[in-house]
Amino acid sequence: MVSAGELFQKACNLIYLLFQMAIIWPWSMIKYFLPKNKKDISGEILFMSGAGSGIGRLMSIKFAELGAIVICTDLNAETAEQTANTIKSNGGKAYSYQLDVTDRLKVYALAEQIKREVGDVTMLINNAGIVTGKKILDAPDQLMVKTMEVNTISHFWTLKAFLPSMLEKNHGHIVTVSSIAGHSGAPAMVDYCASKFGAVGIHESLTVELIGIPDNKIQTSCVCPFFIKTGMFDGVSSGSPILLPLLEVDFTVESIVCGVLNDEETIYVPRMLLPLMILKNLAPSALMKPLSDYLKLHTQMNDFKGRKEGKKAK
């Protein structure tokens, strides 16, 4: 039997929570669109997966220009080295390593090697990704499994490799490169969307875990862009090119870097995706068909040019 005093305390706690929500929610929305003070990342040791091409390459170069020591990793050792050489030719500091992020033992071994040769990683950017771009019954089993391994499961291994030293120092920043496909489904992308939803789930769960640590100073950010013109989504069309045009690479990278420097928890690119996602989550399921018809979601992948083995991402 709950006493009157306990009921009163529970009611007071609920009222206080609602009061906090009434203040924090609108203020967070306002802050999202306000300019912020960017942090200094000089001397930070930054690990980048998928650094050999696309936004991974450009982010590596940009973060190096801001003073970070960049660890460029990629399945393709040659492209990772090219990114590192570009950074060094611009006066920055970089190292390159070949890495298959789906092989947890190789991730752990490389983490130890980096610790010996460079130091403790303080910024982790899980960027590597692939896309199959086929309807679920046309997608080969092995490609669907590989999509999950690269886009989602590999995050477990890098987190286990680099989070311990961040916790020990109570310093670090973990960036999960997901996609707007991690918040909204799309046809011919069932495995890709599942993997990106998983990446968002990892980010959100990890954030909650870190919040529970007293005086935690490890930051987390989740990057959720629309389709980017990196070559990964060649042939994909936008049903609403005015409302949601395909993203230019330079604009996307600048937006991501700015969001990371501002310690934003979720970085939508473009920023207008935030109110659209709020509307999407509030809208009844009956609106999905007219919305899908308006945005021509069922035709956006018709001309997708992904290779049979899946398109290398970022």
Compute the residue count for the chain. 314
**Is 192 one of the catalytic residues?**
yes
Quote the CA–CA distance of 205 and 300 in Å, as a whole number: 31
Beta-bridge partner residues of 96: 72
Whether the bond into 270 is cis, omega within 30 of 0: yes
| Cβ-count burial 210-243 (b if 16+ within 10 Å, e if not) | beeeeeeebbbbbbbbbbbbbebbeebebbeeee
Query: Is there a contact between 97 and 110 (Cβ–Cβ < 8 Å)?
Result: yes
Query: Is there a contact between 78 and 51 (Cβ–Cβ < 8 Å)?
Result: no
DSSP characters for 166-218?
HHHHT-EEEEEE--GGGTS--TT-HHHHHHHHHHHHHHHHHHHHHHTSTT--E
Instruction: For residue 299, give the DSSP letter.
Output: G
Active-site annotation holder among 32, 95, 97, 192? 192
The residues annotated with a catalytic role in the active site are 192
